[in-house]
């Protein structure tokens, strides 16, 4: 995917650093914030040289309230869950007025996930 295919997107979420998930990300990224795990944030800076101002690492296993508009009226909660796939890989649990959505990305099942 490329940003031109989703011009209305305000926030981007990166589950992990495999190339099939980072297509379109380069050092010239200057579109919108990228939310990811702290490990993925470090790799984004080191491997793709994405500017730090665009990278927003979020701690795992705790809900984070994100604002979707400039007046902070529209919000959503996102919780990052270890995906057991590769270093820094996460699933995203989105909760808000729309209900709950779990984006799994790539993950490896473990009984610890139950």
pLDDT digits (tens, 9 = 90+) for 92-106: 999 999 999 999 988
Q: Give the confidence band of 110 by pLDDT, cuts at 50, 70, 90.
A: confident
How many domains does the chain contain in total?
1
The half-sphere exposure of 112 on its side-chain side, counting CA atoms within 13 A, is 7
> Is residue 34 over pLDDT 60?
yes
For 82, residues 6+ apart whose C-beta sits below 8 A from its C-beta are 60, 61, 89, 90, 91
Task: Give me the sign of the Cα torsion angle 21, 23, 24, 30.
Answer: positive
Q: What is the mean pLDDT of the chain?
A: 86
Strand, coil or helix: what is 4? helix
CATH number at residue 75: 3.60.15.10
pTM for the whole structure:
0.84
Q: Considering just the CA atoms, what is the radius of gyration of the chain in Å? A: 14
What residues contact residue 89 under an 8 Å CB cut-off, 6+ apart?
15, 16, 37, 40, 82, 83, 105, 106, 107
Task: Supply the range of the domain harboring residue 12.
Answer: 3-113
Q: What is the pLDDT of residue 47?
A: 87
- Whether the predicted pLDDT of 5 surpasses 70: no
| Secondary structure letter of residue 52 according to DSSP | G
């Amino acid at each position: 995917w490329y940003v031109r295919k989703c011009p209305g997107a305000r926030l981007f979420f990166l589950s992990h650093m495999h190339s099939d998930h980072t297509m379109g990300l380069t050092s010239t990224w200057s579109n919108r914030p990228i939310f990811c795990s702290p490990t993925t944030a470090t790799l984004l800076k080191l491997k793709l040289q994405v500017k730090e101002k665009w990278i927003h690492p979020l701690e795992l296993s705790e809900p984070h309230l994100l604002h979707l508009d400039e007046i902070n009226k529209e919000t959503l909660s996102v919780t990052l869950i270890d995906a057991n796939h590769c270093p820094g890989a996460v699933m995203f649990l989105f909760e808000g007025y729309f209900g709950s959505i779990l984006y799994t990305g790539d993950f490896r099942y473990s009984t610890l996930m139950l």
